[in-house]
Amino acid sequence: MSVESLFTRSWYARYGWTNVFRPLQPLIKKAVVNKRKAFLSHPELSYKAPVPVIVVGNISVGGTGKSPMVVALCKLLVEHGYRPGIVSRGHGAKVETPTHVYPDSLPQDVGDEPVMLSRRAACPMVVFPKRDEAVKFLLSTTDVNVVVSDDGMQHYQLNRDIEVAMLDATRGVGNGHLLPVGPLREPITRLSEVDFVVSISESMTKPLEALNLPITLAPLVPTKLVSLDGSKSLDCHDVFAANSNWHIMAGIGNPERFMATLERLGLHKNNITHQWFTDHHAFEETDVPIDGAVVMTEKDAVKCQSLELSNSNVWYLPVSLVLPISFQQAFLEKLNLIKNGLLP
C-alpha cells in the first residue's frame, strides 16, 4: 500500500492513525488562518488581473472534480460570448517559465491534466506553479478576457473574483481536520466564504448534508468509450451489458468515483479487476495488461497514448459535467456584475 493510500484511509476513517499529529493542529490552523487573513487585509499585495479571474479549487487534497468543472465553465463562457483562458500549476511537470499548453503537448512536459484540459476546453492555456505569473503571461500572449484557474484556491498571490469550491459527495471533508491529521488544506469554515460550492452528484448525501451549506449538485455524464488511439468509440451501456471481463486502471486522486461511474453504466463488480496508481502516475508499458479489455480515465489516457502497447483493446471514458440552469444563471449574473464594475 502506498503512503498516499495510508494517509487517505486514515483521513476518511473515524479514528485513523494520523490522529497522532493532533497536538500540531493549533499551530497548523494558526498558520493557515493567518495566511488568509493577510490576503484579506492586504489584497493589494496580490496580483489583480485586468480581467475577471475564476478559481476552481477545493479545501481538501485528492480528486473532487475540478477538471470537469473547469471544462464546463469554459464551455459555458464561450457560449455566452466570453474568451476564456486557463492557468494551472502543471503538476508533475518541471516548467521553469510560464508555458503554453496545446492539445498535442507532451504530458511529461506540461502535466497530464493540462493536456486533457487543453483538448476538452479548446481555449488558451498556460502552466506555471506561480499562478499569478501564469495569468500575466496568458494575458500578454492571448486575447482572453476571463481566466479560469485550475486549482489554486490557496494560492493567494493571485487575487480572484469568483471562487468555486468542489466537494466530494461520498467522502465529504473526511474527519474534518487539517493536514496532516485530516485531508483539509483550510478549515471547513472556508466553504462559507466562497461564491459557489459544487459537488459531483445526482443527489444529496449524508456527508454533504452534515455541512449545512448551500451546495450545487452537478452530475457527471459519460459519453462513449473511446479507444486509446481515438479511432473507435462504443456505447458504454451496450458493452458493459455484454458481461465481458474488464480491467480498470486509474492514476487519479479519487479512483473510487471512477469505479462508481462504471458501475452505474452497467459494469458488474464480478466482471472486473482493478489497479489503482498514485495520482499523476507516470505510466509505463508494463502497467497495462498485455491482453484483455482495459478501461481508464481520460486523464490517464493522455499519458498512455504515447506508450507502445501490444494490447489494442484499451479504452478510456470521457465524462462531462452538467451544470444546472440555476447555477449557470447565478454564475453568469455575478460575472456580469464584476465585468461591469458593479462588484469590487
Domain count, the chain: 2
pLDDT band at 92 (very low <50, low <70, confident <90, very high): confident
Q: What pLDDT does residue 213 have?
A: 96
Judgement on whether residues 100 and 239 belong to the same structural domain of the protein: no
- Output phi, psi for 264, to 5 deg: -65, -25
Q: What is the mean pLDDT of residues 187-193?
A: 97
Answer yes or no: is pLDDT of 99 > 90: yes
- Output phi, psi for 313, to 5 deg: -105, 50
- Evaluate whether residue 14 is within a structural domain: yes
pLDDT band at 240 (very low <50, low <70, confident <90, very high): confident
Answer yes or no: is pLDDT of 174 > 60: yes
- Evaluate whether residue 344 is within a structural domain: no
Given the DSSP bridges, would you call strands 84-88 and 146-150 parallel, antiparallel or unpaired? parallel
Q: What pLDDT does residue 1 have?
A: 57
Residue with cell 503512503: 3
Q: Please indicate whether residue 190 or residue 243 has the higher confidence score (pLDDT).
A: 190
pLDDT band at 149 (very low <50, low <70, confident <90, very high): very high
Judgement on whether residues 264 and 145 belong to the same structural domain of the protein: no
Q: Please indicate whether residue 256 or residue 143 has the higher confidence score (pLDDT).
A: 143
Which residue in 329, 341, 336 sits closest to 82, CA to CA? 336
Range of 283's domain?
Answer: 224-317
Q: What pLDDT does residue 269 have?
A: 79
Whole-prediction pTM: 0.93
Chain segment 111-129, per-residue pLDDT in tens: 999 999 999 999 999 999 9
3-state secondary structure of 161: coil
Q: What is the mean pLDDT of residues 233-259?
A: 85
Judgement on whether residues 288 and 178 belong to the same structural domain of the protein: no
What's the number of CA atoms in the CB half-sphere (13 Å) around residue 197?
22
Judgement on whether residues 232 and 194 belong to the same structural domain of the protein: no
- DSSP 8-state secondary structure symbol assigned to residue 258: H
* Contact of 62 with 8, CB cutoff 8 Å: yes
Sheet holding 196-199, edge to edge: 99-100, 125-127, 84-88, 146-150, 53-57, 162-167, 196-199, 216-217
- Evaluate whether residue 2 is within a structural domain: no
Chain segment 249-298, per-residue pLDDT in tens: 998 888 888 998 888 888 887 778 999 998 888 899 999 999 999 999 99
Judgement on whether residues 215 and 228 belong to the same structural domain of the protein: no
Answer yes or no: is pLDDT of 159 > 60: yes
- Evaluate whether residue 1 is within a structural domain: no
Q: What pLDDT does residue 283 have?
A: 92
Judgement on whether residues 99 and 215 belong to the same structural domain of the protein: yes
- The runs of H, that is alpha helices, within the chain are 3-11, 25-41, 66-79, 107-110, 112-121, 131-141, 206-209, 236-241, 255-264, 298-304, 325-339
- Chain-centroid distance of CA 286 in Å reads 27
Judgement on whether residues 37 and 66 belong to the same structural domain of the protein: yes
Average pLDDT for the chain = 93
